[in-house]
Amino acid sequence: MTIKKQKTLNQEYVFSGKGLHTGQVAKMVLKPAGVNTGVVFHRTDLGDEAFVEAIAENVSSTARSTTIAKGEASVSTIEHLMSALAGMGVDNVIIEIDNVEVPILDGSARYYVEAFKKDGLKEQDTAKEYITLPGEIEIADEKTGSYIKVIPSETPSIDLTVDFGSKVLGVQKAHWDCGTDYSYEIAPCRTFVFFHEIEYLFQNNLVKGGDVENAIVIVEHPVTKEQVDRLAGLFNVPSLEIDSNGYLNNLQLHFPDECGRHKLLDLIGDLSLAGGLVNARVEAFKPGHSINTRMAKAIREVLSKLNNK
């Protein structure tokens, strides 16, 4: 059996842009890190000691994105970056960021993955650690009907089902395992929002950084031309239209089931807060940041109990 080694980045990468929810511009520098570092954020604007480890115990909010915090330092909307790191097999990295929210970029993990693929990763001299569980874990949310099951297995995999009760989306399924080409199948899949949610979100300052370049907009219910024109004004573009499939024509889908694949992207990122890749078969129905991170925390609690025996 080949022993897989830990990996870090081959060089530093700089990403800049506005946050989806705050609209604030951040500069982010991803740096190679030593073995067993894990993923650590450094809020450089808050001083030399403002570090936040990307682990489930540090999750402070899951309202429309995943936020981690430690002391006075917090970092929000980390899930796409976390997914890119996990999906591409990056174990150790220091992420310097000079503001509160990770740039949304195009709403996917695409730009991170393209950078990593171009230069490859650096193999380190320590074995990669996989999380092995003693038994099945299941978490459910009675209000939403969501659940996640984690079943011990020799190889990691995820099967996900998304059902928003939407005639546009329908029921979408997505799959990941170690043989999946994350960079092509999952990384380019962008975040999405329903048209009827947008005005409320804008009015409540919840998507200050939203625009036509970083989100798929689903038009589930009939809307008037005036509503579409008003949205064009909010997005500061001349005009928008609704295509025949029920999506706003601000962008073209990469896959017919791109929204389901994006939920898989999110789940991979959130579950990586368990501290590594879990040797388990994951079954998820209607996942979201709250239940995703609850599962990551449950995994870490089980491991903590095992280690303290």
Which residues are marked as active site? 289
Separation CA 196–CA 27 (nearest Å): 32
Do 182 and 113 touch, CB atoms closer than 8 A? Answer: yes
Ramachandran area for residue 146 (φ above 0: left; ψ -120 to 50: alpha; else beta): beta
Q: To which residue do tokens 């947008």 refer?
A: 198
Cα distance between residue 27 and residue 85, in whole Å: 18
| C-alpha dihedral sign at 193, 168, 291, 179 | negative
Q: Look up residue 11 and give its two tokens.
A: 């060089």
How far separated are the first and last CA of the chain, in Å rounded?
29
| DSSP secondary structure letters along 254-298 | SSTTHHHHHHHHHHHHHHGGGSS-BSEEEEEES--HHHHHHHHHH
Q: CA–CA separation, 133 vs 302, rounded Å? A: 8
